[in-house]
Amino acid sequence: MALVGDQKITDRYALYHGDCIETMRAFPDASIHLSVYSPPFGGLYNYTSDARDLSNCDDYGQFFEHYGYVVSELSRLTLPGRATAVHVADIPTGNTGHDHIRDFSGDVIRLHEKHGWHYAARYSIWKDPFEVYIRTLAKNLRHRSMVDDSSRCTNAAADYLLVFRRPGENPEPIVHPTGLMDYIGAREVPKALAKYRGHEGKQTENKWSQWIWRNYASAFWDDIRADNVLPFVDCKEPDDEKHVHPLQLDVIERAVVLWSNPGDKVLTPFMGVGSEVYGAVKQGRRGIGVELKAAYFRQSIANLESLAAGPKAEAPRQSTLVLGGE
């Protein structure tokens, strides 16, 4: 049995307060349909003083040594042919204007390949340069820096969603018999295409779904709503070094719709305030999340309970989510 400090289990989601490795080891092989998460960025931020916290590694190399256990465990848990989607960003080494950038996304790709995953796709998530400057105070994004010496300037680097597929034949095809129904993002589907929504005939004629698919299939997701995130301010504690903005729900829900079926189990080993679980449940999946930090775990419960009070998600295939199997 995993070492879980607390848990909240319903027929739509299971939230665990504990270490992700200890918790995941209690799940059976090939029991997860999809995982979506954002790992600590190579120790860029520290979230707790717990020795089990992946952000507390001594250096960059040790981070990847320990992160490898997560990647390996997710491989064991994932059905053949199914995916893990990892949100990352490359890491600046400082804020002097003379610093270099660490290829964190490339190192994450190489780590997954080392543990047998097949690298399938990279989606670039656009960020507004001015908003990034306001949030980070990065000197190399200041207009003044460009005026004084533009050799020190750079861009507002994209976030990435890296998708890896577990080798093997997918035993449960992910199907969209009426195409893609609702667009997730800032754009609006042209009203003239509304008559095709839910088209049950030949999908080559489904212009509504085709329009959505063209946007999703782009390597550049430039209409992700940066403010479409779960509440997080109330769970910040005095000893927090810095709180990173939660992953946008647009990113999570696109991944869930594309790479899982209704009723599938979607796992996040670094749950934070519950964003991935929330997005999975909202899209009619069953969400499973593990979080080490107590304040984040409590906030995730509040966030999921707020969703439970709204429109009911599609009924899950099984009635419970428990450690050790169904």
**pLDDT tens sequence across 95-128:** 666 677 899 999 999 999 999 999 999 999 999 9
Instruction: Give residue 72's pLDDT.
Output: 97
- pLDDT for 10: 95
Stretch 204-219: mean pLDDT: 98
Mean pLDDT (the chain) is 88
Whole-number pLDDT of residue 151: 86
Tokens for 81, please give them: 């042919």
Three-state SS letters, the chain? CCCEEEEEECCCEEEEEECHHHHHCCCCCCCEEEEEECCCCCCCCCCCCCCCCHHHCCCHHHHHHHHHHHHHHHHHHEEEEEEEEEEEECEECCCCCCCCEECHHHHHHHHHHHCCCEEEEEEEECCCHHHHHHHHCCHHHCHHHHHHHHHHCCCCCCEEEEEEECCCCCCCCCCCCCCCCCCCCCCCCCHHHHHHCCCCCCHHHCHHHHHHHHHHCCCEECCCCCCCCCCCHHHCCCCCCCCCCCCCHHHHHHHHHHHCCCCCEEEECCCCCCHHHHHHHHCCCEEEEEECCHHHHHHHHHHHHHHHCCCCCCCCCCCCCECCEC
Whether 206 has a pLDDT exceeding 80, the answer reads yes
pLDDT at 300: 95
The pLDDT of residue 320 is above 60:
no
> Residue 77: how many CB atoms within 10 A of its CB?
24
Is the predicted pLDDT of residue 132 greater than 90, yes or no? Answer: no
The one-letter amino acid at 62: Q
Of 322, 316, 236, 321, the C-alpha closest to 273 is 236
Q: Is the pLDDT of residue 46 over 60?
A: no
pTM of this structure: 0.89
- pLDDT over 90 (residue 243): no
pLDDT score recorded for residue 319: 40
Instruction: Say what the pLDDT of residue 53 is.
Output: 66
Q: Is residue 48 over pLDDT 60?
A: no
304: its two tokens: 């999921």
Report the alpha-carbon distance of residue 160 to residue 225 in Å, rounded.
Answer: 15
Domains of the chain from N-terminus onward? 4-176+221-308 (3.40.50.150)
83: which strand partners? 34, 165
> Can you give the pLDDT at residue 153?
86
pLDDT of residue 152: 83
**What six digits make up the tokens of 303?**
């966030």
The pLDDT, as a whole number, for residue 57 is: 73
Q: What is the pLDDT of residue 316?
A: 43
**Confidence bin at 315 (pLDDT 50/70/90):** very low
**pLDDT of 299 above 60:** yes
- The pLDDT, as a whole number, for residue 318 is 45
What the block records as the tokens of 286 is 């069953």
The pLDDT confidence band at residue 1, using thresholds 50, 70 and 90, is very low
What local confidence, expressed as pLDDT, does residue 317 receive?
Answer: 45
Q: Could you tell me the pLDDT band of residue 52, with boundaries at 50, 70 and 90? A: low
Residue 234 clears pLDDT 90, i.e. is over it: no
pLDDT above 80 (res 64)? yes
Give the span between the Cα atoms of 175 and 284, in whole angstroms.
14
Residue 214: pLDDT band with limits 50, 70, 90: very high
| Nearest Cα to Cα of residue 36 among 281, 312, 325 | 281
